[in-house]
Structure 1
């Protein structure tokens, strides 16, 4: 979840590290720091809070050198403070770390007995002292000391280490947390995300589990934990750093909301054959025969991606007529699920590094299931370890609250449902063509909804001071009610709950009063009349009602206090069109309340720890 950068080359490292950290601040912004090596001396500078504080410190008193590491932190062990900020130092090395060391307590006790004094509350400092132990007592070089340390620690880690004893050498290692290496003719780069180095190179290599890499300005050597040299494939990143800029928008989140017509189009474009009414998914990894043999479908994800999975359940069960079970990754991995050999296991993750989702996928593969992942980041761990992958192609998403990644995941699920429905014989050629006719209109319909943003702003101005919100949906739009509530609470800090509308009278109705706006999603589907009945129950308790309805609807407009219409589409396609105004509502409420919508408190973009 934290951001790591490293540089070895022929230029001043500080500007390069700060630029890289600015691209990674979405991963954590409790504190930041750099360590710069000049000859045999390493100087550390750390600051609490956002990266700007570190930048000001370095402007006031500069440090220089052509080798260094940097870090932006999302706190796990120890409160946000300069003391707990990275990099951390031991006598012979300095390092930055992303992840959690699960056995740090017993290791710390051992190190204290050996005379080590700890300056922080973090688990990371244990790793620094362990490396120091191996360099001093065992007389190991830095890379060998890192390998020896990696064999002693349990948990997840991505680390970058430098040592005063080996100037110009940077050693990086990973297990459970992503790390990527970039190269140019004159320099080498390390980062927890490719965005940290895109200003300099698009040629990158992703570390595999257990890799240790020795990095100098002129060369990079990949090894396993036993020191054996291994070969890793290079990847060329197809999007550039400008995709991560705000392009005139006040916030990344708003920019990414408005990018959705394009990102949905990019996710479906070139992936279907209209003549045969089929989806063409070349990286899906399973043959039509294997898909036809699928007995049951599992979907596992976390957070917003879990909401996409819930939509996928309704979609797949209706279009494929196969039972689907949806699990939260952190719950799935700690029970003994009844997975069978011919089960299809779908994982969804924007980053492809979500720790719980990744662990669930590995367990499913171990039990014999076929794993297909929907991910955004090419070359991510989840993509590499799955039998097949469906990339969402929505580019970098910087806003911590997911927007375009979510709707791209839904678009990918539509394509997967079409593919499965056709290969299993549930959908005919004519069915497939009808589905594609509807699907290809989605980007234009989303653009139409975005063009009415002023209507959402007007609603936000009426209700942004309310302390609580309730979101209600039915059927395939119940998960969208959950997602709408999540977006609002993530960035505005307003208490918000999403419920299945039929469940409202089984408890939540006790909370409803004149100060709790109720957001109702009411497409014109077979559950429409029941949704109207639920809304009447809300109005009877004097709650303000914000209704999102299909165009042409008349009845709810007479009852609700505020109404926003979406195009009247096939019910299975309505989730994306309901999502857009809910994203805008959360965004504008948060802005009106003066909150930092791109970097909400306590959150990080990629959850690579449990």
Structure 2
């Protein structure tokens, strides 16, 4: 049997994202409607919480921003260990909606925590790629991502599907401003990003020389910074860390210098100018930086879009960057050392 080239699986699954996102975009209104119907008669949620690990936790971060921007109701990220490792019985969740995220739907602590929170009065909405999974069965309502099988260890198409799925669910929870527009153009924009690899390859050449780096963004792009850092960590083994631009200025910027560059993600939203201003600050520290964004002057670009769509496109750029750095280093990202596709934390 012919041996596959390094990154074959990851690259192929990344290439499926326009089709996956298009299928989900056509279901967006239906998903929002199902959520709206399921919550009818319960009134405004007392709060919305997210239950997740890994890449799903980064997707949940976008959900947190989306809930706060669209509804204004309290929101939080639940610490599963409080319920599992520490054995704390959850209380006070009557009237709350909990979004439980797991690409496989098989992570034991997410399933267990969802069951406990449901018994505590929460309405559980599962977002998973497997409609027949244990997590889907443990929920009041399940949203299937329909992304197809994912075999590479780094999650790609399931992550961007989660991001869009979360936005669809949040659209059904509140009645505030819509956070994703021009859904009919999303697949084309994703395809445009995937087709453009030259600028990413150039950036990867510089980043491959370093084992420490920061990935920085703010607001709706912060989840993409966290996810890009995770992709670089798990595929290349680099000490990559994702930061909010605001938090980065409060101290972590000190890690950047001649031996530690930064990747800055900046779209066209109200928080993105602050991120671009870091270029000059980092230059004063002797640190290289790469700006990936939607401005014409950005070295690594994606198409101009709204803030929530920016997050999806930036996440794809982050996947490309991780894959390109792996190729520079001769690493196979499909099978990172010591990692499994499904991490069965309890």
User: Which TM-score applies when normalising by structure 2?
Assistant: 0.92
Equivalent positions of 1:112-131 (< 5 A) are none
The answer as to 2:63 corresponding to 1:306 is: no
Query: What's the offset of the Cα at 1:285?
Result: 8.0
- SS for the counterpart of 2:273 is helix
CA contact (8 A) 2:6 2:332 kept: no
The answer as to 2:107 corresponding to 1:354 is: yes
The corresponding residue for 1:590 is 326
CA contact (8 A) 2:90 2:120 kept: no
Query: What's the offset of the Cα at 1:363?
Result: 1.2
The 1:538–1:331 alpha-carbon spacing in structure 2 relative to 1, beyond 3 Å, is farther
The corresponding residue for 1:111 is none
Cα deviation per residue 1:408-467 (whole Å; 9 max; x = unaligned)?
A: 00110111121122xxxx24xxx66xx675223211110111110222112212321211
The 1:509–1:551 alpha-carbon spacing in structure 2 relative to 1, beyond 3 Å, is closer
- SS for the counterpart of 1:466 is coil
Quick one: distance in 2 between partners of 1:573 and 1:532? 19
Quick one: distance in 2 between partners of 1:362 and 1:441? 38
Higher RCO, Cα 8 Å, sep 6+: 2
Cα deviation per residue 1:326-364 (whole Å; 9 max; x = unaligned)?
A: 134335543454432111111000010112211210110
Cα deviation per residue 1:203-250 (whole Å; 9 max; x = unaligned)?
A: xxxxxxxxxxxxxxxxxxxxxxxxxxxxxxxxxxxxxxxxxxx8x995
| Structure 2 unmatched ranges of 5 or more | none
Quick one: distance in 1 between partners of 2:112 and 2:253? 38
Query: What's the offset of the Cα at 1:572?
Result: 2.2
Quick one: distance in 1 between partners of 2:66 and 2:269? 14
Quick one: distance in 1 between partners of 2:258 and 2:68? 39
The answer as to 2:53 corresponding to 1:289 is: no
CA contact (8 A) 1:267 1:391 kept: no
Quick one: distance in 2 between partners of 1:436 and 1:460? 30
Work out which of the residue numbers 308, 316, 322 in structure 2 matches 1:572. Answer: 308
Work out which of the residue numbers 142, 145, 167 in structure 2 matches 1:389. Answer: 142
State which drifts further: 253-262 or 543-552.
543-552
CA contact (8 A) 1:285 1:372 kept: no
Cα deviation per residue 1:473-525 (whole Å; 9 max; x = unaligned)?
A: 11121121111111001011111111111122333222211121200111222
Work out which of the residue numbers 62, 65, 73 in structure 2 matches 1:322. Answer: 73
The answer as to 2:230 corresponding to 1:486 is: yes
Q: Aligned pair count?
A: 342
Cα deviation per residue 1:13-39 (whole Å; 9 max; x = unaligned)?
A: xxxxxxxxxxxxxxxxxxxxxxxxxxx
Query: What's the offset of the Cα at 1:578?
Result: 0.5
Work out which of the residue numbers 8, 19, 22 in structure 2 matches 1:262. Answer: 19
Quick one: distance in 2 between partners of 1:484 and 1:326? 20
CA contact (8 A) 1:306 1:328 kept: no
Quick one: distance in 1 between partners of 2:181 and 2:163? 17
| Structure 1 unmatched ranges of 5 or more | 1-51, 53-245, 558-562
The 1:526–1:299 alpha-carbon spacing in structure 2 relative to 1, beyond 3 Å, is same
Query: What's the offset of the Cα at 1:535?
Result: 2.9
Higher helix share: 2
Quick one: distance in 2 between partners of 1:519 and 1:325? 27
Equivalent positions of 1:92-491 (< 5 A) are 251-272=8-29, 279-281=32-34, 286-290=38-42, 292-331=43-82, 333=84, 334=86, 335-421=88-174, 426-427=175-176, 437-491=181-235
Higher strand share: 1
CA contact (8 A) 2:213 2:256 kept: no
- Once superposed, what is the RMSD of the aligned Cα atoms? 2.3
The corresponding residue for 1:531 is 275
- SS for the counterpart of 1:607 is coil
The 1:609–1:535 alpha-carbon spacing in structure 2 relative to 1, beyond 3 Å, is same
The 1:485–1:548 alpha-carbon spacing in structure 2 relative to 1, beyond 3 Å, is same
Quick one: distance in 2 between partners of 1:598 and 1:249? 7
Cα deviation per residue 1:351-385 (whole Å; 9 max; x = unaligned)?
A: 10112211210110121111110000121000011
- SS for the counterpart of 2:81 is helix
The 1:520–1:338 alpha-carbon spacing in structure 2 relative to 1, beyond 3 Å, is farther
Quick one: distance in 1 between partners of 2:215 and 2:336? 21
The 1:370–1:286 alpha-carbon spacing in structure 2 relative to 1, beyond 3 Å, is same
Please say which structure displays the higher CA radius of gyration: 1
CA contact (8 A) 1:281 1:390 kept: no
Quick one: distance in 1 between partners of 2:189 and 2:154? 23
Cα deviation per residue 1:173-210 (whole Å; 9 max; x = unaligned)?
A: xxxxxxxxxxxxxxxxxxxxxxxxxxxxxxxxxxxxxx
- SS for the counterpart of 1:344 is strand
The corresponding residue for 1:509 is 253
CA contact (8 A) 2:100 2:110 kept: yes
